[in-house]
A and B are shown apart, each in its own frame.
Chain A
Amino acid sequence: MAITGVLRPGLCQIRVLDMAAAKTHYIDRVGLDFVGEGPDGRVYLKAYDEFDRHSIVLRQADESGCDLFAFRVARPSDLDSFEQRIKDYGYTVYHVEAGEMPGVGRRIGTVIPSGHRIELYAEIEMADRHPPITNPDLWTDEPHGMRPIRMDHALLYGPNIEEVQDFFEKALDFRCAEKVMLPDGLLATWLTCSTKAHDIAFVKHPEPGKFHHVSFFLEDWNAVGWASDIITRYNISRDIGPTRHGITRGTTIYFFDPSGNRNEVFAGGYTYYPTDPTRMWDETELGKGIFYYEQQLNERFLTVVT
């Protein structure tokens, strides 16, 4: 099946307590490129291999967390059809005018029952410093910091994730690539709109609207090691890793930004096709599913969110 409709994650707006510290972290350490600062103080960043103007948006606030996660759709007319399908599913749709973020067209959004803002948009300007197109070199400017290739996915925590999964499947045409089933129901779900093992994931949690991590894709396992070296060199608060997930199979390291928002950098992961079955983990092997080498549950990773 060709990829149509919802294409991929595109925007993640993160609340930070200290913008100067956040810029040092995301630009100098993670290695995103600075795109610009808007009139309201929001800071726009991108990874070197992204064509779109920006992917990460930082907003100064008095508490940490994630304001919104947005997906790019293929065509402007898709916004109209998805608006109808979201309404038909029973959710309210809100509208964001073009230009609310510099270079981004109109967006539609809804607040899903896990308490998160999920938005769709079709149009965004191409970055000034975009990847080469004609006789393309690997990059325009050599990658720096952890050398992230793209903003890849987010993991969000909140209640009602069975309904959230159903909404993503029925209203937005996502598929569930992998899930964790416990005796009392769905604990976690990894949802994809592409051939990636996940484009967004949810874990059941009593408090709505919580943010577990935003993830950046790296080239390979060596790059995960390089990122780990940077984390130790600059005393970045490390959560866990380098290690590997059983779920999605990504090789990974987790750490926290200066406002306590968790970041992941990872490489690998399987290719998911729409004809593939949903892989499933149960309570007997969940430790291996979450961290394949440690094989045991990690309370901080499972419960600490912003």
Chain B
Amino acid sequence: MDQTEIRTVHRIRVPGTDIDVPCRPQQNVLDAFERRGLCRDIRIGCRNGGCGVCRVQVLEGTVRADRMGANHVTADERLAGYALACRIYPESDLLIAAAPRNPCATRARTDETIATADRRLVGTQTACLHRHGPACPGHDE
């Protein structure tokens, strides 16, 4: 690592707050917040791109991103600046906003999650989650 990179510090700001956090280029955004104890706007979860609770939208600036769960940030959402704070590294000063999944959106995805749960594993047949019965939506028996 050269001396220039060690000295570089970007600033991360959150609109509507006085939050102004320093973040090195090799430091993820969530870590910068966690070290300053400024977690009210961005929750600390697994810190590794799996749980999704630190979802944010980058409003200004550019970032480098590691792999993150596609269930939390879709490809389209990535283009719109959404990301998990624990998986992005600043390449400039940033303006970011917390963007947790809308709980309603989570519920809307529930049926889809059930439907796809049994297709995740290679080599197994389709299974139905639901108890047999007329009240079961989408049941084909």
Interface residues of A (CB under 8 A from B): 13, 15, 17-18, 40, 61-65, 67-68, 90-97, 100, 109-113, 115-117, 206-209, 237, 239, 256-262, 300, 303-306
Alpha-carbon separation in the docked complex, A209 to B129 (Å): 11
Number of A-B contacts (CB under 8 A): 125
Q: Identify B49's interface contact among A116, A259, A304, CB under 8 A.
A: A259
CB <8 Å contact, B50 and A261:
yes
Chain A contact surface mostly: loop
Known contacts A111-B117, A304-B53: A237-B48 contact under CB 8 Å:
yes
Other-chain contact of A260, B47, B123, B128 (Cβ < 8 Å): B47
Q: Could you say which of A40, A300, A306 has the most chain B C-beta atoms within 10 Å of its C-beta?
A: A306
Q: How far, in Å, is B58 (CB) from chain A's closest CB?
A: 20
| Cβ of B125 under 8 Å from chain A | yes
> Which parts of B63-108 form the interface with A (CB within 8 Å)?
67-72, 103, 106-107
- The A-contacting residues of B in range 103-139, CB under 8 angstroms, are 103, 106-107, 109-110, 113-114, 117-118, 120-133
Query: In the complex, A13 Cα to B132 Cα: how many Å?
Result: 27
B9 lies within 8 A of chain A by Cβ? no
Question: Nearest CB to that of A42 among chain B residues?
Answer: B122
User: What's the nearest-Cβ distance from chain A to residue B126, in Å?
Assistant: 7
Task: Flag whether B46 is at the interface (Cβ < 8 A).
Answer: yes
Contact present for A208 and B48 (CB under 8 Å): no
* Interface status of B51 (Cβ within 8 A of chain A): yes
Q: Which residue of A lies closest to B72 (CB)?
A: A63
Residues of A within 8 A of B45 (CB): 260, 300, 304
User: Is B44 part of the binding interface, using a Cβ–Cβ cutoff of 8 Å?
Assistant: yes
Complex CA–CA separation, A239 to B124 (angstroms): 34
**Residues of A contacting B125 with CB < 8 Å?**
94-95
User: Which of the residues A40, A110, A116, A256 comes within 8 Å of B50, measured between beta carbons?
Assistant: A256
Indicate which residue in B50, B113, B126 contacts A306 across the interface (CB closer than 8 Å): B50
State how many angstroms separate the Cβ of B73 from the closest Cβ of chain A.
10
Which of A15, A94, A262 is close to B127, meaning CB atoms less than 8 Å apart?
A94
> Could you tell me the distance between the alpha carbons of A207 and B103 in the complex, rounded to whole angstroms?
10
Tell me whether B48 and A258 are in contact (CB under 8 A): yes
Q: Is the CB of A305 within 8 A of B51?
A: yes
Given that A115-B114, A260-B46, A260-B47 are known contacts, is A62 also in contact with B129, CB under 8 Å in the complex?
Answer: no
Residues of B within 8 A of A237 (CB): 46-48
Size bin of chain B's contact surface: 35 or more
> Assuming A111-B118, A117-B117, A206-B106, is B127 touching A64 (CB within 8 A)?
no
- In the bound assembly, the distance between CA atoms of A284 and B70 in angstroms comes to 39
Bound Cα distance A152, B129 (Å): 26
> Which residue of the partner chain A has the closest CB to B130?
A113
Bound Cα distance from A95 to B43, whole angstroms: 41
Q: Which residues of B contact A40 (CB under 8 A)?
A: 122
With a cutoff of 8 Å between Cβ atoms, the chain A residues found around residue B114 in the complex are: 111, 115, 208-209
Alpha-carbon gap, A94 to B47, bound state (A): 35
B129 lies within 8 A of A111 (CB): yes
What 6 A-B pairs have minimum CB-CB distances, sorted nearest first?
A: A260-B50, A260-B46, A64-B50, A260-B48, A237-B47, A62-B70
| CA gap between A259 and B67 in the complex, in Å | 9
Kindly identify which residue among A17, A97, A111 contacts B67, using a CB–CB cutoff of 8 Å.
A17
- Does B47 contact A63, Cβ atoms closer than 8 Å? no
Q: A90-B132, A209-B113 are in contact. Are A306 and B46 (CB under 8 A)?
A: yes
Complex formed: what's the CA distance from A37 to B71 in Å?
26
Report whether B106 and A207 are in contact in the complex, using a CB–CB cutoff of 8 Å: yes
Q: In the docked arrangement, what's the CA distance between A257 and B133, Å?
A: 40
> Which residues of B sit under 8 angstroms from A256, Cβ to Cβ?
46-48, 50
Partner of B124, one of A109, A209, A259: A109
In the complex, which residue of chain B has the Cβ closest to the Cβ of A66? B120
User: Which residue of the partner chain B has the closest CB to A16?
Assistant: B50
- B126: chain A residues within 8 A (beta carbon): 94
Known pairs A206-B107, A260-B47, A305-B51; A62 contacts B69 (CB<8 A): yes
A-B contact pairs, 15 of them (CB 8 A): A64-B50, A64-B51, A94-B126, A100-B122, A117-B127, A206-B103, A208-B110, A209-B114, A237-B46, A256-B46, A258-B48, A259-B69, A260-B47, A303-B53, A306-B51
